[in-house]
Amino acid sequence: MADIADTNQHYVPQFLLRGFHTGNEAQIWAFDKTTSKSFTTAIDKVASEHGFYNIRGSAKLDETIRKVEEATAPIIREIRDRRSLAGIDEHKRIWLSGFTALQMVRTKGFSERSRDMMRQITNVVTQLSGGELSEKVRKQLGLDESGTEHEKALSTILGIARSLVDELQKKHMVLYRTDGSSSFCIGDSPVALQNSVNPGDGIRGTLGLAVPGIEVFLPISKNLVLAHMCPTIAVVYSGLQDDARRMGFIHAHAGPYLRAVEHGTAVIIEREPIRFQNSLQFGFAERFVYSSVENFKDARDILAENPHRRMGPRYGRPYAGLSQVED
């Protein structure tokens, strides 16, 4: 039996990545934010590291994650085949929420953000303490616990995922489908957040799962994005639809969205909204974005103007996405 340290463990599941294959089911296009270069590569080699989920020599976390993947993969295949959420019952929706929640915290990007946050907290507390931390403070920060910073971050993800599932289950599940004009891509931290209806108070962020207006997106194929949408969005669209009906027409965006919420049909989106979805994937990616085609021009343009976006998002700094994509 191979040593667990030699096991190549994926932080984006291979069955998800195969929804973005190039035509050769084993290949995918990859874009590297650090170099602005793109290339084709084998799906079984990307979004992974040897022993990524091992904690002090144990692969139990990887085993747990694999079980979630095995339970969720048939549901996602069903959605890909039907291209709608019709027939996806409550039990399956719970599994999908759990899968999305786990995918939010199982990535390299989450580990890097967690480690960066802990370093920021430690630096601030050290400065406030006059340059030296007491034994009590070090214990509270977990600085003397065994394990690497990465292992400490990994040890939190199942607990965090459970709390995220509770919030995701409060959302409306909506499926977005391309009109065929272009395709979706997927990042190495593929759960992307957006809040387009809540401007916030200018002090606190608006990307928390419990924040009104939150939108949570997970691409599941080159043609489909699974979304968990705050119910307040449907309220806004209902108001727009009512206004439109009073004037004798159907609102172009509100109608399809409300039908999707009620009946599970897909919301079909065109080129510019597709580009925006892809910009979210680029913004939340730690390093790599993957696609069925070489469609990374927008990413290169963004990096040419904003080199700091080569790194994934960090706490205290806005995520590296876009509010809009211009021609």
Read off the pLDDT of residues 242-275 as tens digits, 9 standing for 90 and up: 888 888 877 888 999 999 999 999 999 999 999 9
Report the pLDDT averaged over residues 112-137. 70
Bridge-based pairing state of the strands 48-50 and 192-194: unpaired
Beta strands in the chain (DSSP E): 8-10, 27-32, 37-42, 48-50, 172-178, 186-187, 192-194, 215-221, 224-229, 266-269, 288-291
Q: How many angstroms separate the CA atoms of 101 and 191, rounded?
A: 9
- Span of 4-18, 35-49, 52-66 with lowest mean pLDDT: 4-18
Q: 143 pLDDT exceeds 70? A: no
Average pLDDT, the chain: 89
Whole-model pTM: value is 0.89
Which amino acid would we find at residue 89?
D
Q: What is the domain partition of the chain in residue ranges?
A: 4-307
Q: 144 pLDDT exceeds 60? A: no
Report the pLDDT averaged over residues 87-110. 96
**pLDDT tens string 161-177:** 999 999 999 999 999 99
Whose CA is closest to 30, among 22, 45, 41? 41
CB-side neighbour CA atoms (13 Å) of 54: 15
pLDDT of residue 138: 53
Report the pLDDT averaged over residues 283-308. 93
CB-side neighbour CA atoms (13 Å) of 27: 9
